Structure 1
Amino acid sequence: MTSVSDDVALTMDQMPLGEDGLIDFRRLAVDLIETVINHAMELEADELPGEGNRRNGYRERRLKTVIGEITLRVPKLREDTYFPERVMRPYSRVDRAMVGVVSKSYVNGMSTRKIEKVA
């Protein structure tokens, strides 16, 4: 099966097919979205200021969406950093649910020592 990212203009013979022989529109949509977002990130990284702002490869990140998992190729730069904040959130080790439980416990009068033991 040919990926959309290999060639932007697809013929009917290059469309991703499902097991039933029909066009797999979900795979086609995922491939098209990957191609568009990856290209947009490259353009945005190129626009960052700095003369020595050359590429140093890519970091692959997976993003789960309603249509399927998308593989993003985030450009790495030699002299600056680039993170596509409009595409995904920065990696965080803090679980949002845990922060909510701790803050709610504190608001309800639980001491910080007890919260610490529970956490």
Structure 2
Amino acid sequence: MTNDMMNVRSLVEKSADADLLREMIGLAAERLMELEVGSATGADFGVKNPMRLTQRNGYRDRDWETRAGTVELRIPKLRKGSYFPSFLEPRRMAEKALTAVIQEAYIQGISTRSVDDLWWMVSVR
């Protein structure tokens, strides 16, 4: 299994698909942040809800160094309180899990709708 992952990584790094992998990691990270911020604020982006806890207040840019290269993230800011993506704190484990999810999705041709389910399965382990 480890050799297969190393072979996939070396193929991706050597080919033009490295950009695609970085974009996929970025999209998955943005989706995860949107889900986390939606639960922190009490409503999704653009949805009015009387039970809303706080509101969004723009984004801050941050470069995320991964094995696939640098991924540019736009981290949402909140008016009250703060938000920091959970997958950035324990960097190595989260990066490995997210990279594994993206590689698995890419190899198997999984739709973007299924990536959330796949992420949940990997993060539970």
**TM-score, length basis structure 2:** 0.48
Q: Which runs of 4+ in 1 moved over 3 A?
A: none
- Deviations, residues 66-95 of structure 1 (Å, cap 9, x unaligned): 1110111111011121011322469xxxxx
Aligned residues: 68
Task: Tell me the equivalent position of 1:25.
Answer: 17
SS at match of 2:85: coil
Q: Choose which of 23, 29, 32 in structure 2 pairs with 1:37.
A: 29
Q: TM-score, normalised on structure 1?
A: 0.50
Q: How far, CA to CA, are the matches of 2:74 and 2:80 in structure 1?
A: 18
User: Partner letter of residue 60 of structure 1?
Assistant: D
Change beyond 3 A, Cα 1:41–1:27: same
Gapped runs of 5+ residues in structure 1?
A: 1-22, 91-119
Using CA pairs under 8 Å that are at least 6 residues apart, name the structure with larger relative contact order, 1 or 2. Answer: 2
Q: What's the offset of the Cα at 1:54?
A: 1.2
CA distance in 2, matches of 1:60, 1:29: 20
**Aligned equivalents of 1:72, 1:25: Cα separation in 2:** 19
Q: Percent identity?
A: 35
CA RMSD of aligned residues (A): 2.2
What corresponds to 2:63 in structure 1? 62
Unaligned runs of 5+ in 2: 1-14, 43-51, 92-125
Amino acid at match of 1:72: L
Q: d(CA) in 2 for partners of 1:53 and 1:72?
A: 22
Which residue identity does 2:39 align to in structure 1?
Answer: E
